[in-house]
Structure 1
Amino acid sequence: MNAPSAVPAQALGGVTITATPVSGDRTRFNVHFTEHFSNFEVNNKLPFADWVEFWEQDESDDDWITGTKAFRVFPTTAPQPADFSITIANSKIDGESGAEEVYARAALRNDETGRVIYQNSRRIQLGV
């Protein structure tokens, strides 16, 4: 019998976001996070998918900006880094007057069970 895993099930850690202005009134976002899997998930080769959503913080409800496509993930016993980059038109980010606060929401879905976990990055302020 296998020893219990330190991580009981899929987990996300350390979601970070950076933004860089690029030509053509656009912003390039880079998101990094780490995925962790249990021994059970690794040994049974459970299928997973990951993606990132981008949100703009509002006083009442946050606004969804866009998301990346989902990518197939193959669990490993070691923490698995994930990196996403996307360029977004500033007009899509600019939902109100003044600076915008944007954050990334990393997602990891167990395709066998349908369970999705999310973890947000810190918010960054953009003057778009």
Structure 2
Amino acid sequence: MSNINGVNSSGFNATQLQNAQTEGANNSGSSFGDFMGDVADGALAGVAAVAPFFPGGELVKMAANGLRGLSDQAPAGLGGAKGEKLDQMWEMQEQNQMFNLQYMHLQQELQSDNRHFSTMSNLLKARHDTAKAAINNMRV
């Protein structure tokens, strides 16, 4: 195992994290999203650096490195640079809501039809039982 203060097996240097954090704090022209993206990247790098020292840490390290790799694909409001994906996500959610409303309306129609069918069935059964009882009373 390598030293926590030095370079570990993933090639991450703990001093790089400190330098990245101070650069992010000194860069006053960056947006809040960029700053938070840098903080998240630094936190994931720290998790990846410390993870091998714990049981099952290799899996955590791989997950943290995978999340760090996804940061360039994140929507603009989440630290990435692509606002189109966020717009597409909202559009898909609106479509999903529309489909859910249509599905709920269809379920309500089916429940209504089922109630009508049950009511008619019960009425016809009562009519049949009444007629059958009348016929049986005439035979006696």
Larger RCO (CA under 8 A, 6+ residues apart): 1
Fold conserved between structures, TM > 0.5 = no
Higher Cα Rg, which structure: 2
* Structure with the bigger percentage of helix: 2
TM-score, reference length from structure 2: 0.20
TM-score, reference length from structure 1: 0.21
